Amino acid sequence: MSHLKDQVILVTGGTSGIGQACTELFTEHGAKVIAMSIQAEQGEALANRLQAEGRTCLFHYGDVRREEDVRAAVELAVSRFGRLDAACANAGVLRTQKITQVTVDDFNLVLGVNLLGPIWVCKYAIPVMEQQAKGCICFTTSVASEIGFPEHGVYCASKAGLVALMRCLVTDHSPKGIRFVAVSPGTIDTPMLASSCEGWDKPKEELYADVARKIPVRRLGQPIDVARVIGFLLSDEAGYINGSVVYVEGGTLALPPW
């Protein structure tokens, strides 16, 4: 991952789960990371720890649903480091419910974080990257964009929307030097996954073991599994990968429907 050295990278949702793994991996290899999230305490602690280790990490408190918060994160990158080489539109939220139970507030939250947030990232990152004539934006989608997960209707729709957005961006902006890519994780051991276990009649550990037995590689993914793939996609070695989704799901999509 030597290609990450001195790269300026914005990571939304950068203080937990896959986003935190990206922040830690990228700074380990010399990148200058702006980690944005609504987790003020965790974000400050993460940035302070990484800085104490000699890495370059700035924490930016912000909600990706708020246009001004995302604009400020991009402006922070440019003002401090003079450029923005990559952005990882990673922040996500999950609500588990049937469509017959959905409220407007549920819909606005999930679509606001999972789809509108990446749109704001692109709105403000793209002009910077076009001026540089180079950049890469990576979206964290999900196998939920292709599988009819029970009680995940709005979440699945939000992740499928990300893929459609990415491909439209390719046609509009790749001729000016920007690549758009996506990772599609399967079942990853993150705090968001843990929160989805609430209310079940089994403890989390048993639920995880049940799921792991069904995945062909017989384990849940770890955030670092996804971060490593994202790190590669940001490199010049991945320069001909554009408008593509890379699946990081242990073989989940190969499973038969019975």
Cite the active site residues.
155
Encoding tokens for residue 91? 């922040």
End-to-end CA gap in the chain: 40
Taking Cα atoms as reference points, which of 160, 183, 159 lies closest to residue 247? 183
Q: Which helix (H) or strand (E) holds 124?
A: helix 117-132
**Token pair for residue 35?**
């980690």
Within 10 angstroms of residue 171's Cβ, the number of other Cβ atoms is: 10
Which residues have a Cβ under 8 Å from the Cβ of 106 and sit 6 or more positions away? 95, 97, 154
Buried (b) or exposed (e) across 140-155, using 16+ Cβ within 10 A? bbbbbbbbeeeebbbb
For residue 195, give every residue at least 6 positions away whose Cβ sits within 8 Å of its Cβ, in sequence order, or none: 94
